[in-house]
């Protein structure tokens, strides 16, 4: 569930440009993590833009084979920022390099998704800071973007801006890209029943995870005042029974320091957390 936020001081031209270009890395990563190649489909001729102004749904489309798709992108075993366990080429995945020859094409008249031009990206986003906030999906998007940008600009400073898990500043352009790790976006931790009783104890709960839907995770609380652009993702961890077992260790939602009763299921808890992000200033 990706979300993108932008500071109110940015102009509409830059907002549109950032959103359009950042769409490519997640699509690129989805392609790399397919367990098998999609069925071969010839690359059709590019569509001519429609004379009428139409909005494009970039999430609807198809993978098309394009031998030039990954020819100039440095998302391979030479980029050290890719997590070792997810580096398909370095780990010898048989069809890893073949997967680079595919690109995503949205459906609809005039909805051609342009290839990412790393140098143009750097030029247009001078003096800008971009923060990815989320779980391993956003870490992959962060790594994908960094790898492609480092392919054309190797003069970087590696550091942890605003308490980020990791980050890079491309010195010639003063462009910073950082990743803030968080599973749920909001604060959570283990919860155990109080021997003296309480609201949840009276309902039979003994163990679980306390999830405060109105308190941001400390890993990204400083990101809001530091970055110009924030790209959020969440969702996977809200349905992770190996972590939040609905019987042995359920998610117990709190708001304003008090348990929410009756207890919520994860989908409702996620909605409430996103509402707090949207309508309150964190």
Q: What are the extents of the domains in the chain? A: 58-115, 186-279
pLDDT of residue 112: 82
Query: How many beta carbons lie within 10 A of that of residue 194, not counting itself?
Result: 10
Residue 177 has pLDDT above 90, yes or no: yes
Q: Which residue has the higher pLDDT, 6 or 120?
A: 120
pLDDT at 95: 83
pLDDT at residue 203, rounded to an integer: 95
pLDDT, the chain, mean: 80
**Measured between alpha carbons, how far is residue 28 from residues 36, 89, 197, 243, 252 in Å?**
15, 14, 51, 28, 36
Quickly state the pLDDT bin for 14 (edges 50, 70, 90).
Answer: very low
Strands 251-255 and 61-65, by their bridges, are: unpaired
For residue 85, give the nearest of 165, 46, 139, 37 by alpha carbon.
Answer: 139
Across the range 205-214, mean pLDDT stands at 96
Is the pLDDT score of 19 beyond 60? no
The pLDDT value given to residue 265: 94
Cα 147 to Cα 145: distance, rounded to the nearest angstrom:
5
Query: Distance (Å, rounded) from C-alpha 103 to C-alpha 266?
Result: 34
pLDDT tens-digit map of 107-126: 887 788 888 899 999 999 99
Task: Say if residue 48's pLDDT is above 60.
Answer: no
Residues 6+ apart with CB under 8 A from 44: 64
CB 121 within 8 A of CB 55: no
Q: pLDDT tens across 28-43, in order?
A: 333 333 333 333 333 3
The distance of Cα 264 from the centroid of its chain, to the nearest Å, equals 26
What per-residue confidence (pLDDT) applies to 24? Answer: 39
Mean pLDDT, residues 74-83 taken together? 74
For 157, counting Cβ atoms within 10 Å of its Cβ (0-12 exposed, 13-18 middle, 19+ buried), the class is exposed
Confidence of residue 258 (pLDDT cuts 50, 70, 90): very high
What pLDDT, on the 0 to 100 scale, is given for residue 162? 95
Confidence grade of residue 44 (pLDDT, cut at 50, 70, 90): very low
Supply the pLDDT for residue 70.
Answer: 60
pLDDT at 73: 62
**Structure confidence at residue 243 (pLDDT):** 85
Residue 41 tokens, joined: 């489909």
Identify the pLDDT of residue 109.
79
CA 194 to chain centre: 37
- C-alpha span between 117 and 113 (Å, rounded): 12
| Tokens at 234, concatenated | 């969440």
What are the residue ranges of helices labelled H in 6-117?
Answer: 12-22, 24-32, 96-99
Across 23-32, 75-84, 103-112, which has the greatest mean pLDDT? 103-112
| Choice between 154 and 161, residue whose per-residue pLDDT is larger | 161
Per-residue pLDDT at 31: 30
Q: Is the pLDDT of residue 51 over 50?
A: no
Residues 6 or more apart whose CB falls under 8 angstroms from that of 248 comprise: 207
Tell me which of 37 and 145 has the higher pLDDT: 145
pTM of the model: 0.77
Residue 186 has pLDDT above 90, yes or no: yes
- Residue 20, pLDDT > 80, answer no
């Amino acid at each position: 569930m990706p979300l993108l936020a932008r500071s109110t001081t940015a102009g509409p031209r830059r907002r549109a440009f950032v959103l359009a270009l950042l769409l490519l890395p997640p699509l690129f990563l989805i392609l790399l993590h397919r367990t098998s190649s999609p069925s071969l489909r010839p690359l059709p001729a590019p569509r001519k833009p429609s004379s009428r102004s139409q909005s494009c749904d970039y999430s609807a489309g198809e993978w098309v084979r394009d031998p030039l798709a990954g020819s100039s992108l440095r998302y391979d075993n030479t980029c050290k920022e890719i997590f070792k366990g997810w580096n398909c080429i370095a780990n010898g995945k048989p069809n890893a390099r073949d997967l680079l020859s595919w690109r995503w094409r949205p459906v609809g008249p005039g909805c051609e998704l342009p290839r990412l031009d790393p140098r143009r990206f750097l030029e247009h986003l001078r003096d800008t800071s971009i923060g990815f906030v989320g779980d391993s999906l956003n870490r992959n998007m962060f790594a994908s973007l960094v790898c492609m940008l480092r392919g054309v600009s190797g003069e970087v400073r590696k550091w942890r801006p605003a308490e980020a898990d990791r980050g890079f500043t491309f010195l010639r352009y003063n462009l910073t890209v950082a990743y803030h790790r968080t599973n749920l976006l909001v604060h959570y931790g283990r919860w155990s029943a109080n021997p003296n009783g309480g609201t949840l104890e009276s309902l039979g709960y003994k163990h679980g995870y306390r999830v405060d839907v109105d308190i941001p995770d400390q890993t990204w609380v400083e990101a809001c005042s530091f970055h110009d652009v924030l790209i959020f993702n969440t969702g996977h961890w809200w349905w992770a029974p190996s972590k939040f077992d609905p019987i042995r260790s359920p998610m117990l939602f709190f708001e304003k320091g008090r348990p929410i009763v009756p207890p919520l299921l994860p989908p409702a808890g996620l909605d409430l957390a996103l509402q707090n992000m949207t309508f309150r200033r964190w």
